[in-house]
Amino acid sequence: MSAEGLRVAVAEDESLSLKRLVRLLREAGCQVVATFPEGRALQDWLQTPRDVEALFLDIHMPNLDGMELLKSVRGRIPVVLTTAFSEHAVEAFDAEAVDYLLKPITASRLGRALDRILARRPQMAPARTPELHPSVHRFPVQAGAGVVLVDLAKTTHFEVENEVVWAHAGGRLRTTWTSLAEVESAFAGAGLLRIHRHLLVRPDAVIGLKPAPGGRAIIRLQGGLEIEASRGGAPRLRERLGL
């Protein structure tokens, strides 16, 4: 995928790290629309509607750190966290970060993060959801030595485990995809919603939800199966359902 013209903002308190990241982003074709030396300034900047498609946030910053900023954005803008330490990775993905980059950041690793952002780009656009031909709503799952086609309308959700994407459609079916980003790209106009780093749900399949500790939510799906939305995914699902 090409990141040409992707509009990004960066918050990083280390000047050398900031210069390196801005250079790599521009070399990848991104348009860096704003940079900030600490988190509070970025948060204040976002109080006014901005034409920005992704945020790159250092985890350790003065005043307001990247993790707090990620949670405050609440999924409105894709966020990539950057840090010299790896211990926050699980918390970052649980809070719905698109990716987590360890310093020193390389061009190839940044490229994979940009691919993840671009895979979500259709969800970021406020345009009207297009009507898709019925065949576009089908996808292959493995069946013995071959494949069968499954209707998206009969699927409640997708989950990824060890780089295998499973579809839940009257059973747990192995797809040909290896990441949820691929599913999002395949069904860009279908309204699928990421509710956890490893779960992608079809909102029309949700028949109930109840609060869970830590701002999470238990989601009840058609067929009676229950899954858990993260504290970042739960409010987005409630918003989508008009709750």
**Is 80 exceeded by the pLDDT of residue 225?**
yes
For 55, other C-beta atoms within 10 Å of its C-beta total 27
User: 152 and 117 in contact (C-beta within 8 Å)?
Assistant: no
The alpha carbon of residue 185 and the mean position of all alpha carbons in its chain are separated, in whole angstroms, by 12
Confidence (pLDDT) at 16: 93
Share of the chain above pLDDT 90, in %: 38
Domain ranges in the chain?
A: 7-124, 137-241
| Rounded CA separation 156/177 (Å) | 17
Instruction: Read off the pLDDT of each residue in 47-66 and give the average, rounded to a whole number.
Output: 87
Residues in the chain: 243
Amino acid letter, residue 162: N
Confidence (pLDDT) at 36: 93
**Is 60 exceeded by the pLDDT of residue 3?**
yes
Confidence (pLDDT) at 5: 83
Query: Among 105, 116, 112, which residue's Cα sits nearest to residue 24?
Result: 105
User: 3 and 110 in contact (C-beta within 8 Å)?
Assistant: no
* DSSP collapsed to 3 states, 20-56: HHHHHHHHCCCEEEEEECCHHHHHHHCCCCCCCCEEE
Instruction: Read off the pLDDT of each residue in 200-218 and give the average, rounded to a whole number.
Output: 91
Instruction: Read off the pLDDT of each residue in 177-193 and give the average, rounded to a whole number.
Output: 84
Q: Is CATH 3.50.50.60 the right assignment for the domain spanning 137-241?
A: no
Is 7-124's fold the same as 137-241's?
no
Higher model confidence: residue 71 or residue 103? 103
Query: Among 207, 209, 205, 226, which residue's Cα sits nearest to residue 155?
Result: 205
Query: Of the given ranges (36-40, 91-95, 127-131, 226-230), which has the lowest mean pLDDT?
Result: 127-131
**Architecture of the CATH domain 7-124:** 3-Layer(aba) Sandwich (3.40)
User: 119 and 98 in contact (C-beta within 8 Å)?
Assistant: no
- Does the pTM surpass 0.75? The reply is no
Confidence (pLDDT) at 91: 59
120-163 per-position pLDDT tens digit = 765 444 433 334 444 458 899 988 888 899 999 999 999 999 88
Q: What is the mean pLDDT of the chain?
A: 84
Token digits for 213?
Answer: 């500790």
72-128 per-position pLDDT tens digit = 877 788 999 998 876 655 555 555 788 888 889 999 999 999 988 888 765 444 433
Confidence (pLDDT) at 173: 94
**Is 90 exceeded by the pLDDT of residue 242?**
no
Confidence (pLDDT) at 146: 84
